[in-house]
Amino acid sequence: MIFDDRFSHRFFVNFIKYRFLLIELIKRDIKLKYRRSVLGIFWSFLEPLLFMIVLTIIFSTFFKHSIPNYPVYLLTGRVMFSFLAGATNASMRSIYLNASMLKKLYVPKYMYPLGVTLSNFVTFLLSIIVVFLVMIVTQAPFSLYMFLAIIPFILLLLFVIGAGLILATLTVFFRDIEHLYSVFIILLMYSSAIFFPPSIIPAKYQFVLTFNPLFAYISLFRDSFIYDKLFDPMQLLFAITASISAMVIGLLLFYKYQDKFILHI
């Protein structure tokens, strides 16, 4: 077995030993992201808000009868997609961009994709404040179901960590992955019902939503924030399965090939 007891013990010992490095990597990534920005971290609030305003003006006329409170509907999908896109893109480049450090010092290599993922998760949590503000402005109802949103948040985080490890590993050996992924992420955005209702997709193409993990996380988020209801059990099961599968595959792949990174960066 690739993951034996010795590996598990070493993994957790190293994680505890280098946890302060992880915190510093998160801080560094956040500082670098807003270093030359006049607005600084305030951009985390402004960007989704501007996106919502523009797309609401464009699309609300088409979907105002089929989507209640379109601004909140749009934002809930947008902030989750932005986190996934930003974190996976950063994770994909995290190993070779830190090549000089990896060649000089021993550092658990997974700290780099994990660090950029968690820094993007911090930005994502800040953007949730915008969702609350828009709900207040649009007089959307608040309910106790909103506390359940922590579940899709955690599931999405686990999925993104796993996907980030997969992309980071593959990109070390195949740099073309970056170009392919830039196309894939656009396709993912348009196949996740972020700014249109799922019902407009023809029945024969509904499988695109059924087997789309991002759509599952967004739907669970919307169930708690917009529709004030419990999660659909099958969709929740699929979301859990996707998160666990991504984590397991990511860890296995990263652990298997990490010792060869130094030869390709």
Q: Kindly report the CA angle at 13 between 12 and 16, in degrees rounded to 5? A: 85
Q: Is the pLDDT of residue 120 over 70?
A: yes
Say if pTM beats, i.e. exceeds, 0.85.
Answer: yes
Percentage of residues in the chain having pLDDT higher than 90: 55
Amino acid identity, position 113:
P
Tens of pLDDT, residues 18-63 = 788 888 888 888 877 766 655 556 666 677 777 777 777 777 667 6
Angle separating helix axes 111-137 and 150-173, nearest 10 degrees: 140
Average pLDDT over residues 173-181: 93
Q: What is the dihedral of CA 102, 105, 109, 112, to 10 degrees?
A: -70
Residue 64: pLDDT band (50, 70, 90) is low
For the chain, how big is the Rg over CA atoms in Å?
A: 19
Tens of pLDDT, residues 206-240 = 999 999 999 999 999 999 999 989 999 999 999 99
Where are the chain's structural domains?
5-263
CA 43 → CA 40, 85, 188, 202, 237, distances in Å?
6, 17, 24, 37, 35
Amino acid identity, position 198:
P
Alpha-carbon distance of 156 to 47, in angstroms, equals 21
Asked whether 91 and 117 are in contact (CB, 8 A), the reply is yes
Exposure string of 34-52, with b = 16+ CB inside 10 Å and e = fewer, is eeeeeeeeebbbebbbebb
